[in-house]
């Protein structure tokens, strides 16, 4: 087995063990392999090991890989901040966007998504850490944005996403993820039922699983450290 195949296997074992402990079925937890910073050959290696969903956080970098790997049937997730001049690229080439935080960008994505494609699957990014990551809507602005996104014909609102404040404190990780789960429950009370909680990365995926994550975005634990320049994209 290759290094990436072994790492992928180890991540799947973590997911299985934690899901079992938390009384959840691993099948309801999807793994998105975050390939930002890594070359197409590394993505292909993960694909040969059975991985089909990949996440990229820069439109241009993602697009180059999508083209390089178009002979494979892969599912691309956009997980970075979206500039308005990149909405067309993202809408045309990705099947998921996890980082909706402004109505204007959501509207542009919907306009750019062609009728020949399935609707773009989206999550609204919520800023649950307060001071930490500045990205995402504040919890107070979530409901109006969710209502607006639901009216857009070429987008399908699937869930919520968050990047919590970085901490090794398991309880604090869980408290932050719990907030996202509670926000999803609050939307359901308003008649907006969502099926996706995109939360949990390499270092905190267990906390996320305990709090109900349905989509994990894992990079380092699969591909290795992005700071080691040897296999990096540039």
Ligand X SMILES: *Cc1c(COP(=O)(O)O)cnc(C)c1O
**225 backbone dihedrals φ, ψ, rounded to 5°:** -75, 125
CA of 185: how far to CAs of 9, 83, 96, in Å?
32, 30, 22
The reply on whether position 164 binds ligand X by CB under 6 A is: no
Applying CB under 6 A, which part among 5-13, 15-23, 59-67, 200-208 lies near ligand X?
200-208
Q: What angle do CA 208, 209, 214 make, to 5 degrees?
A: 95
Interacting positions 40-69 with ligand X (CB under 6 A): 57
Shortest distance, CB of residue 190 to ligand X, whole angstroms? Answer: 26
The reply on whether position 155 binds ligand X by CB under 6 A is: no
Of 102 and 147, CB closest to ligand X: 102
Site size toward ligand X (CB under 6 A) is 13
**DSSP per position, 31-55:** EEEE-TTB-HHHHHHHHHTT--EEE
Of 98 and 144, CB closest to ligand X: 98
CA of 5: how far to CAs of 2, 46, 62, 146, in Å?
5, 6, 22, 38
Applying CB under 6 A, which part among 13-21, 85-93, 151-159, 214-222 lies near ligand X?
214-222
The reply on whether position 29 binds ligand X by CB under 6 A is: no
Dist CA 70 CA 149 (whole Å): 29
The reply on whether position 201 binds ligand X by CB under 6 A is: yes
Of 12 and 203, CB closest to ligand X: 203
Of 5 and 147, CB closest to ligand X: 5
Applying CB under 6 A, which part among 16-24, 46-54, 102-110, 197-205 lies near ligand X?
197-205
For residue 78, which of 61, 58, 92 has the smallest C-alpha distance? 58
**Residues 211/179, Cβ–Cβ less than 8 Å:** no
**Residues 174/182, Cβ–Cβ less than 8 Å:** no
Shortest distance, CB of residue 32 to ligand X, whole angstroms? Answer: 8
**Residue 185 host element (H or E):** helix 170-189
**How far, rounded to the nearest angstrom, does the alpha carbon of residue 65 sit from its chain's CA centroid?**
17
The reply on whether position 167 binds ligand X by CB under 6 A is: no
Of 58 and 156, CB closest to ligand X: 58
The reply on whether position 217 binds ligand X by CB under 6 A is: yes
The reply on whether position 34 binds ligand X by CB under 6 A is: yes
Dist CA 133 CA 221 (whole Å): 21
Shortest distance, CB of residue 219 to ligand X, whole angstroms? Answer: 3
Q: Where on the chain is the footprint of ligand X (CB under 6 A)?
A: 34, 36, 57, 79, 163, 201-203, 217-221
């Amino acid at each position: 087995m290759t290094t990436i195949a072994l790492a992928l296997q180890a991540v799947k074992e973590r997911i299985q063990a934690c899901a079992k402990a938390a009384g959840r079925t691993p099948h309801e937890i999807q793994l998105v392999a975050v390939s930002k910073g890594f070359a197409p050959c590394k993505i292909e290696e993960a694909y040969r090991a059975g991985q089909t969903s990949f996440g990229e956080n820069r439109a241009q970098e993602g697009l180059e890989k999508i083209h390089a790997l178009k002979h494979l049937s892969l599912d691309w997730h956009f997980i970075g901040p979206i500039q308005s001049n990149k909405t067309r690229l993202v809408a045309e080439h990705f099947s998921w966007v996890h980082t909706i935080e402004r109505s204007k960008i959501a509207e542009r994505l919907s306009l750019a998504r062609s009728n020949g494609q399935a609707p773009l699957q989206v999550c609204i990014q919520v800023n649950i850490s307060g001071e930490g990551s500045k990205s995402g809507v504040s919890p107070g602005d979530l409901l109006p944005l969710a209502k607006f996104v639901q009216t857009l014909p070429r987008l399908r609102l699937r869930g919520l996403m968050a990047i919590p404040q970085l901490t090794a404190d398991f309880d604090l990780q869980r408290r932050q993820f719990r907030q996202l789960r509670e926000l999803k429950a609050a939307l359901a009370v308003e008649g907006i039922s969502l099926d996706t909680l995109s939360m949990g990365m390499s270092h905190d995926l267990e906390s996320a699983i305990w709090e109900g994550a349905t989509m994990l975005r894992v990079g380092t634990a699969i591909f290795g450290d992005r700071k080691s320049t040897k296999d990096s994209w540039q």
